[in-house]
Amino acid sequence: MDAIRIPKVSNVLYSKSGGTSPGTLHLTAHHLIFSYTNASQSEMWVAYPLINLVTRLPQTLSGQCPISFRCRTFETFSLSFERDAEATDVFESVKELTVANSVTRLYAFYYTPTPPLSASDGWTLYSPREEFGRMGVGTRSKAWRFTDINKDFTFCPSYPARLVVPTKISDSTLYYGVKYRSKGRMPALSYLHWANFGSITRSSQPMVGLTNARSIQDEKIVEATFTSHLTPESRVSQPVFGATATNLIIDARPTTNAVANTAKGAGTENMDHYKDCKKAYLGIDNIHQMRDSLNKVVEALRESEALAASVSGDIPGTSGAVLPVDRQALRRSGWLRHQVAILEGTLVIVRNIHVNHSHVLIHCSDGWDRTSQLSAVSQLCLDPYYRTTRGFEVLIEKDFLSFGHRFLDRCGHLSSEKFFLAPVDSGGGGADVAQALFASVQNRFSGNHHIKETSPVFHQFLEAVRNIQRQFPGRFEFNELFLRDLHTHLYSCQFGTFLFNSERDRRESMGCTVSVWDYMNSSPQAERYINPDYNPALDDPASRAQNADQGVLLPNPKDVRFWHELYGRGDEEMNGRYTATPAPLPTVGVVESLDEDPALLETNLVPVSQSPTPNLAFSTPPSAPSPSPAPVRTPSPLAPVSRLARPAPADLFGSAGGSMRSMWDRLSSGAGAALSVVQDAYGNARDARSWSGSGSGELQDWSGATPPRGASPSILTSSPPLSRFEPPRITQAVRSSTFSGFSPGTGIGTGPISGNPWAMSPAASREADGMPSVLVANPWNTARVQSGRPPLGNAFGVEEMAAALPSPLSSARADRLGGFPADPTVALPAAADSSKAFAPLPSPSSASARNAGAVPPHIPTSPSLLLSSSSSSLTGVAGMAPKSPETSSEEMDPLGVGIL
């Protein structure tokens, strides 16, 4: 009581959400109480541990001295005082009462319910023998046994006193194997599936280190776990046909985190030493990333309140103006991305156990944060019992409380002076300012180490449960209010359930505090938590209804939304309009051997293998579209694509006949794509003349006929063309001037029968209807022929190239093959005769141009001729027809890029 400088303050204005009410403030040892002047309103009680941030604000224009309070339940209110001395005393008193230096100073050690609660079995709600016996340990399956090796908590201080391990493993093996796991958290059973003896075991990371250490005992424990369903004592009826055994070691961390921990002496499993199993990384970030992500969500809410206050002129957080939250800022926080990662990992575990009839070992770094989340959420989906009120309480007791989730560190119950902000008053002189600054710096570097360990791990678990509850509203006995009140009492410190880091610490205070389950299971609270839509018949495993799922839920990772009731906002305000999409099968990169482990490859512990891409378990088929990276929302929150799948190597060789994909096929594909871009960019389409010159406006199918000159160069190869490498056919009509003829021997345009889709006739640029010419507005045309300047010779023609080669080519072959168009950026050899490479360009309307036939290309035998022939054929595709000296710049190559 010495910390209370002023126990009562009258004429205080309480402001929240635009409403202001006068009343009286009372400060007690554990609560801040505000009594309204209007007797019809009930008092407001706020436990000090719920206060997250207290800020002294400047004096208002009306002379009020406000203090702003922000709670861990995302509520904001302010108290305005008439005198500055009262505000100072209240601020200092609340700071002294909130910042506790010991757990025993918290409200739970002084709370006595009046009247007594009707339920009193909260501390004995969970019994390991009863719960694992319900699963079938010792009855349905003899492959598991109880051990009291940790009864005095010396074997592993953070583990429960009673563990369930494989029957094949003796306690002496456990003594040796425990040294190989971080913090001594060896693999222990967490769940045994009711249908097929599939199991969920949990542990911490192995101590591999840079020396690539191994433990035979740990390998035997994992092997016994993954073969527990094969023991003759287990009454397994018959194998399920179609089910594939895919025992998984789930590493919840990103690969980079596993690499970093290897340098610290820990790391991840070497899959060459663990038999009959695979490994998958889930990529869930650590506690620091989760804390920063939630802080960004809170900051987005705070900015919305500050903006509303600036509009209305009120105190931040108390304005009645309704302004929407910046949903882009909410998306940038990454909070929903972390939720998606948890649900995707849950879906992998649920499918592997229920569908594949296999086992899963889950671990992260220390095995008490992400491991608890994945294990609990997976069991919630697998077992309908955990979706009842009592079953959900047992699940939290088992996977969070008994297995050592560090509630004291993660929730920050002891708080810190860091969360109390007051302006520095310079009126007292420089000495006072310097003393205040020194105290602030000292406070920052001392006594705040526990703040770095805070993280909303359990809050994240509750929000994941809320998302599943929203997707399956009739499958939970409890409602949303049950989860919200549970989140409130997580930070209120009114009960002793969530005050400690381990079962060992909790046992010492069971007789001194009240369990939160006693409060929530007593009247009238229990009636408020009942879900009216709950239908237990939907979980009947014997049901043969059309939508029956045997009570196993498969949540949709894309259907993830903010828990808007918890944040005190509207659904559409935080999430926008939402349309759920079907749940895709998550893509998880599975590690089968040491050579395929990306974590070990990055540490250069083993040479990189040139083996094929590892098999992807639970991946979508190649023909199916990849899952969308974000749910359909306007705007939609980010749902990142799984970073775990390893990309397949490029297919450089064809599957038919083992022939290599031709380079010219790629060029042809690029030409076809570029043509589509040009057609879409310039004007309306008109009927095009056919390849045969009939003027039908349709492109001729070359599958059963001899392709004209200028067709896809893939026909030059000796092996059959690969259909999957051919460019897509163009079915839309284009302007009649798009096609210009080619002379079979010279490569000079002769009319619309040519296979050059880009060579334009002189009349094409002057179409009727005022349509602008493609060539006039072509931004890619770099070839400009100036008037009065003779054109350069065809630098790529066969005769010119023959002049530059050591062994010249025959003129007969050169006349038969033709050449590429002139490139003004390439100088001609001195011996080249440019006049031979050009011929006058006939009029597009001439009869000879319309009736000229396409001549099939000649297949040369010499490598140099093959290059020339292929280049000549490519000219017809790329539209590089040579131009006459009289041709204007409009009639040059539309793209002007030369060889593609």
Binding residues for substrate: 261-264, 286-287, 364-370
Q: Tabulate helix, strand, coil % of the chain (nearest 5).
A: 35, 10, 55
- Give residues with Cβ within 8 angstroms of 648, minimum separation 6: 613
Alpha-helical regions (H) of 180-286: 216-226, 255-263
| CA distances, 787 to each of 424, 657, 676, 795 (Å) | 79, 53, 32, 21
SS3 570: coil
Task: Name every residue whose Cβ is closer than 8 Å to that of residue 565 and which is 6 or more positions away in sequence.
Answer: 480, 484
Task: Say how far apart CA 341 and CA 283 lie, in whole Å.
Answer: 7
Q: DSSP for 325-350?
A: --HHHHHHTTHHHHHHHHHHHHHHHH
Distance from C-alpha of 2 to C-alpha of 513, rounded to nearest angstrom? 24
Q: How far apart are CA 427 and CA 791, in angstroms?
A: 86
- CA distances 281 to 66, 461, 508, 590, 642, Å, are 50, 19, 38, 8, 10
User: How far is the C-alpha of 829 from the C-alpha of 824, rounded, in Å?
Assistant: 13
Q: 71: exposed, middle or buried (C-beta count within 10 Å: 0-12, 13-18, 19+)?
A: middle
The 10 Å Cβ neighbour count of residue 557 is: 23
In angstroms, rounded to a whole number, what is the distance separating the alpha carbons of residues 632 and 334?
17
Query: Which of 66, 29, 63, 24 is CA-nearest to residue 41?
Result: 24
Q: Per the structure block, which two tokens stand in for 77?
A: 């209110």
CB atoms within 10 A of CB 829: 13
Give Cα 609 to chain centroid, integer Å: 28
Q: ∠244-248-254 over CA atoms, to 5°?
A: 135
Cβ neighbours of residue 395 closer than 8 Å, sequence gap 6 or more: 376, 379, 380, 386
Query: ∠ CA 784-787-791 to the nearest 5 degrees?
Result: 65
How far is Cα 882 from Cα 544, in angstroms, rounded to an integer?
Answer: 74
Residues in contact with 223: Cβ distance below 8 Å, sequence separation at least 6, in sequence order? 274, 275, 276
Residues in the chain: 900
Residues that are catalytic: 364
Cα separation values, 795 from 241, 270, 837, 838, 873, Å: 68, 60, 9, 11, 16
DSSP code at position 116 = P
Instruction: Return the SS3 of 415.
Output: coil
Residues 6+ apart with CB under 8 A from 759: 739, 740, 742, 749, 879, 880, 881, 893
Residue 214 makes CB contacts below 8 A (sequence gap 6+) with 208, 270, 273
**Euclidean distance between CA atoms 463 and 453, whole angstroms:** 20
Residue type, 705: A
Phi-psi region of 429 (alpha: psi -120 to 50; beta: other; left: phi over 0): left
